[in-house]
Structure 1
Amino acid sequence: MRVIFHNLVTLEEASSALLKFAKPLGSEEVDIAEAYGRVLSRDVVAQVDVPPFDRSTVDGYAVVAESTYGASELTPVELKVVGRVEAGGWPNVEVRQGEAVEVATGAPLPRGANAVVMVEYTQERDGVVKIFRSVAPGENVMSAGSDISAGEVALRRCTRLTAREIGVLAALGVKTVQVLRRPRVAIISTGNELAPPGAPLGVGKLYDVNSYALAASVAEAGGVPELVGIVRDDAGEYRRALEAALSSSDVVLISGGTSAGVADLTYRVLGEMGEVLFHGIMVKPGKPTLAAAVGGKIVVGLPGYPSSALMIFHTVVRPFLLKLQCLEPDPPAAVKASLAVGVEGAKGRRALYPVVLVGRGGSYRAYPLYAESGAISVLARADGYVVVPENVEFLAEGEEVEVRLFEKYRPAEFYFIGSHDPHLDAALARRNIKAVYVGSMGGLMAVKRGEADMAGVHVFDPGSGLYNTPFVEKLDIRDVAVVGLYEREQGLMVQRGNPKGVRGVEDLLRPDVVFVNRPRGTGTRALLDMLLGEAARRLGLTLEEAAAKIRGYTHEVKTHTAVAAAVAQGRADVGVGVRYAAELYGLEFIPLGWEQYDLVVKRGALEKALEIAAELLSDLPRGYRRYEWSGRVKLLR
């Protein structure tokens, strides 16, 4: 059976459909030592005053305030010391005019006293204390019940208990407290292709990401995750797992099995067991999301792709879990930013684009992270997301957008924006340097606009026969240095044994060869197009005609390792990239030549760039080598 999405709902409608079922789950009693993060199920009424007696807030002398009037450094007032009271003790003396009782911080105030003089303004000798500063009635005294009065509602129901509230409970002498029961959330991952982390990864298999990512998300929302595990695409097994999950939990999350594919079971099984509330949301990613009510409990079918599943959890499921705990979701913190690159709308659906923020001088630039829905790393690197409304077809570069933050934004110490390099990537990861890979030309423009502290570039200028420096001059990028890094060996990656017999660029035009490419604006793509242009001329073709003959020329991936992965997994026969990535994936490598990879850096980042260069050059892997400017500054303008 193929499921068709007939009636798509909006994000707001999907959320509202779940919230109608958000009824309290009952309460339980817990010790305050275990109450952090829980939510009160009833008001807490104070049974005692806090503090329970008048007490001193400082070390000093309890006095009748009127006895100190007129006291100064030049004309101190002398009072007779008639006793002492420590914290935890109880006074057995009474203070009258002309008398004082020494008290410690937190000690009860003696009868008759109405103020305390700080010890810093006193001098005691032979039972007499000199007062060098007068005090007013009530000064340095905390009266009984001035914090919380007996009979007062100290904490309201539906309050989430943090360290502050637990401190209040302890001050009231409360040992145990009634809290709402946390929702138990069963999590099922579906699909014959899934394997649990730690197991050998067979051909065509993927590790189960969603079970663990969703479990962490449930815990963050205050729920109790229950991992059911992986369920295969079998109707009987699927139904049994769902029935067991419903019997032991309050909510069930299922990832996968929600799209219109013939192997998808969620829609059919849930339709048989209960009422489908909606199937399909007008949003990208996350369109195939569905929800059903089964026996009064909510089951949500999330997309199988991890980033899609997490985005829908964040926008639709999390508010429902919070409501079950009498909590309202905080509106996401947001900042205004200008788009670094234009983005397309989703043609009648709301589009959610994860972005990286670059903060400079109080303003922000948002770099969209383009990736397939299955790319979990996107959300790990993103600072937040941009919403493109249903009726907007395109947002242009430079347009102001609202970035909804996943958590509080913390600017990085340095920003690297430019071309991806596997050897450099590890060095950036060891420092507080946020990396955004947009290709060499994108990196150069980011440096020019002041968004990047450094960029990795490897673009060849045929006119001068030089790498990188001509483009700094052509683009008139000021206040920068070019730090020579290393040369990288670029070539064609093929599977072991080279089953297609690829020998050079001309073989890419063969109809039996499938290719995987790098994006426009990258140095690797520029190298390929230069070599392809030479091959085209030998064959009597234009570059465009030659490119049209290559199967996969328009299939672009963002990193060298992504090229290697595509070849290693048989999704492509050949790709172009650095030797380092080919050897990482156990591929054969057909050299095409060496290229220079340099750092273009702002003056303020020059010291950091030279430090990184020194580290990288001290341990060059196979496929990298020094050249005459390695570790040196070859352009400063």
Structure 2
Amino acid sequence: MRTVEEHQAVVTGLLAPLPVEDVPLAAAAGRVVATDLPALVSLPGFANSAMDGYAARHAEVGTASEAAPVRLPVGADIPAGRTDVPPLLPGTVHRIMTGAPLPEGADVVVPVERTDGATDVVTITGAPDVGTHLRHAGEDIRAGDLALPAGTALGAAQLGLAAAVGYASVPVRRRPRVLVLSTGSELVEPGRPLQPGQIYESNSVLLAAAVADAGGDARTLHFVPDDVDQFLTTVRAELAGADLLVTSGGVSAGAYEVVKDAFRGLGTVEFAKVAMQPGGPQGAGTVDGVPVVTLPGNPVSSFVSFEVFVRPALRRALGHTSPDRLRTTARLTTALRSPAGRRQFLRGRFDGEVVTQVGGPGSHLVAHLARANCLVVVPEDVTELPAGAEVVVVLIEGALQ
């Protein structure tokens, strides 16, 4: 029996880093920077005002108060975006807006709230300390400094920084193209009438969404016949251009396990039992040079197996420096049992301090899975845990709130 870590290493080894492509910022959300990106300009690029007010010399306005105001002529108006900013002459102030370039000679900005707001001769009734309300060139980041290191996931803040330091496009790892296939003659497309013994096919929807959440592009292959020759012919015809094939179902020890029967004959896919629950039967290898990961068919087993093996491998190939889900610890609200020798991944609801098991351990309980927001991890050598015991929880996204 293979350990979880051993099978993780097998799956990870199938996927090489993906090629690099340049994409415009508008299309880069959720992608991963492939190379270090230095700042092309400094931020701020020039000294500017942090307030709407008046640029002044502190020596001329520092004594201003309600009882003894200072009155000075306004030499110029400086809105944001002005490029021909005149220097500040002694004995004058410039009216200035937030973000506008600071005139030469000014060392303080007096907020408009401490003046009468005049545009010809302004009355100043108080002034902050010298250097107040000024933004200095390069105080955020200087040109040439590292702005976004390779492996950075591009969210709103990171894309804003990339734009601010001069990038119109960024180098990122190409999204993995993942072919998702669910097997089973009992499966029917949702929306069609069910006959006795039939169920609606859900794994391809589940796995395609999981692929997208991990950063990949999924394409589903539906209702492939449970016949070894037809199965192989159909799959091989669809593999061109795929970076990974993910299958669900057909890998257990019973009869009519079409995935196992078809791929085992090729000699390039290895099937193993992994010491975990749910998700014991697993397979990994290549078909016609394309990496293949075979998952068990029960929906919860498929989901957990994807989370444990496929998702981190995809994210690592995309260049994520931290490909795994966030983990934390929580205390159990109720006692639980776990089979000896298998790592248990139970569904749970985590509220920031404690975790409550959602449903039982059954791998068919997809309604309970949809209500979970974490996986509770019970080690292989633990068979019982009392209420209040501390456990590791893996925070999964996309759960109902």
Q: TM exceeds 0.5?
A: yes
Provide Cα deviations, 1:7-39, integer angstroms capped at 9, x if missing partner.
x21111111222223321111222211111011
Structure 1 distance, partners of 2:373, 2:85, is 63
Structure 1 segment 169-180 matched on structure 2, within 5 A: 169-180=162-173
Structure-1 separation of matches of 2:267 and 2:216: 23
- 1:206 aligned to which of 191, 196, 199: 199
Decide whether the 8 Å contact of 2:285 with 2:292 is kept in 1.
Answer: yes
Distance (Å, rounded) in 1 between the aligned partners of 2:209 and 2:308: 16
The structure 2 residue matched to 1:118, chosen from 111, 114, 139, is 111
* Aligned residues of 2:72 and 2:92 also touching (Cα < 8 A): yes
SS in 1 for 2:55: strand
Q: 2-side partners of 1:285 and 1:105: how far apart?
A: 58
1:91 Cα offset (Å): 4.0
Q: Which has the larger radius of gyration?
A: 1
SS in 1 for 2:11: helix
CA distance in 1, matches of 2:164, 2:236: 46
Match of 1:319 in 2: 312
Superposed counterparts of 1:512-551, under 5 Å: none
Aligned to 1:307: 300
Paired position in structure 2 for 1:388: 378
In 1, Cα distance between the equivalents of 2:174 and 2:119?
Answer: 63
User: Is 1:49–2:42 an aligned residue pair?
Assistant: yes
- Contact persistence 1:25–1:183 (CA under 8 A): yes
Aligned with 1:83: secondary structure?
strand
- 1:250, 1:239 → 2: CA distance? 18
Q: Distance in 2 between matches of 1:410 and 1:132?
A: 56
Q: How does the TM-score come out when normalised to structure 1?
A: 0.59
Residue 150 (structure 1) aligned with residue 140 (structure 2): no
Q: RMSD of the alignment, in Å? A: 2.5
Query: For 1:88-237, what aligned pairs fall within 5 Å after superposition?
Result: 88-123=81-116, 127-237=120-230
1:438 — aligned with what? none
Instruction: Report the Cα offset of residue 364 of structure 1.
Output: 3.2
* Secondary structure in 2 matching 1:248: coil
* 2:328 aligns with one of 327, 334, 338: 334
Contact 2:273–2:280 at 8 Å: present in 1 too? yes
Alpha-carbon displacement from aligned partner over 1:426-445 (angstroms, at most 9, x marks no partner): xxxxxxxxxxxxxxxxxxxx
For 1:422, the equivalent position in structure 2 comes to: none
The higher-RCO structure (CA 8 Å, 6+ apart) is 2
Residue from 30, 52, 56 that aligns with 1:59: 52
CA distance in 2, matches of 1:98, 1:134: 15
Which residue matches 1:479? none
- Indicate conservation of the 8 Å contact 1:384/1:403, yes or no: no
| Equivalent-residue separation in structure 2 for 1:377 and 1:19 (angstroms) | 30
Q: Distance in 1 between matches of 2:25 and 2:360?
A: 46
Question: Is 2:359 the partner of 1:369?
Answer: yes
CA contact (8 A) 1:14 1:278 kept: no
Q: Does 1:350 align with 2:343?
A: yes
Q: 1:94 to 1:381 in 2, by over 3 A?
A: closer
Which residue identity lines up with residue 263 of structure 2 in the other structure?
Answer: L
Q: Which residue of structure 2 lines up, in the alignment, with residue 261 of structure 1?
A: 254
Distance in 2, matches of 1:279 and 1:245, equals 25
- Identity percentage of aligned residues: 36
Q: Contact 1:72/1:133 (CA < 8 Å) preserved in 2?
A: yes
Partners of 1:152 and 1:12 lie apart in 2 by 38
Q: Which SS does the other structure have where 2:10 is aligned? A: helix
User: Which one of the candidate residues 362, 379, 387 is aligned to 2:369?
Assistant: 379
Structure 2 counterparts to residues 234-313 of structure 1, below 5 A = 234-273=227-266, 275-294=268-287, 296-313=289-306
Post-superposition Cα deviations, 1:93-121, rounded to whole Å, max 9, x if no partner, equal 32133210111112111222222111111
CA 299–408 in structure 1, closer or farther in 2 if over 3 Å, else same: closer
Deviation for aligned residue 1:275: 3.0
Q: Deviations over 1:573-599 (max 9, x none)?
A: xxxxxxxxxxxxxxxxxxxxxxxxxxx
C-alpha spacing 1:388/1:176, structure 2 compared with 1 (3 Å)? closer
Unaligned runs of at least 5 residues, structure 1: 1-7, 413-637
Give the C-alpha shift of residue 290 in structure 1: 1.4
CA contact (8 A) 1:54 1:141 kept: yes
- The verdict on how the C-alpha distance between 1:373 and 1:30 changes in structure 2, with shifts beyond 3 A counting, is same
Instruction: After TM superposition, list the pairs within 5 Å mapping 1:396-407 onto structure 2.
Output: 396=386, 398=387, 400-402=389-391, 404-407=393-396
**Deviation (angstroms), 1:215:** 0.6
Give, in angstroms, the shift of residue 143 of structure 1: 2.3
Separation (CA, whole Å) in 1 of partners of 2:82 and 2:35: 35
Cα shift at 1:210: 0.4
Question: Match for residue 25 of structure 1?
Answer: 18
Output one character per residue of 1:167-196: Cα deviation in whole Å (capped at 9) or x when no partner: 112223322222110111110011111111
SS of structure 2 residue aligned to 1:225: strand
Query: Aligned partners of 1:313 and 1:135: how far apart in 2?
Result: 59
**Structure 2 counterpart of 1:431:** none
Kept in 2, the 8 Å contact 1:334–1:404? The answer is: yes
8 Å CA contact retained: 1:356, 1:369:
no
Deviation at 1:314, TM superposition (A): 0.9
Provide the rounded CA distance (Å) in 2 between the counterparts of 1:31 and 1:409: 27
| 8 Å Cα contact 2:33-2:171 kept in structure 1 | yes
Which secondary structure does the structure 2 equivalent of 1:289 belong to? strand
Q: Following the alignment from structure 1 to structure 2, what is the Cα–Cα distance between the partners of residues 61 and 324? A: 53
**Secondary structure in 1 matching 2:31:** coil
- Do the aligned partners of 1:356 and 1:381 also contact (CA within 8 Å) in 2? yes
Structure 2 gap ranges (5+): none
Q: Give the C-alpha shift of residue 216 in structure 1.
A: 0.7
